Structure 1
């Protein structure tokens, strides 16, 4: 299992307590799952911090 998957499961596990709270809890689970997934990709080395700040039109390099 990759670090990205582990991070996503951890984020969703932490947010599971909010599951019983309704739609707001659903959004919390989704947000923490996404944060965990991105953190896992970052720890795997598949994602770099500069990927978030580099322009998409290729002018950055």
Structure 2
């Protein structure tokens, strides 16, 4: 699926959540979508757990 279609579906889900559930539902759907995105990156292999836990010296480069 193309990224434009995925973005459109995510935008529509956020729009429906905001319209029918209010701002709290909008934030909940956005947060769960972000968590799902990160989990998807882990499962796909594009992101590793070590990317979050690097030594301080390595980040300064």
Instruction: Give TM-score scaled by structure 2 length.
Output: 0.60
Q: Structure 1 segments of 4 or more deviating over 4 A?
A: none
**Structure 2 stretches lacking a partner, 5+ long:** none
Instruction: Give TM-score scaled by structure 1 length.
Output: 0.60
Q: What do you get for the CA RMSD once the two structures are aligned?
A: 2.9
Larger of the two Rg values belongs to structure: 2
Q: How many positions carry a matched residue from both structures?
A: 49
Structure with greater contact order relative to length (CA < 8 Å, sep ≥ 6): 1
**Structure 1 stretches lacking a partner, 5+ long:** none
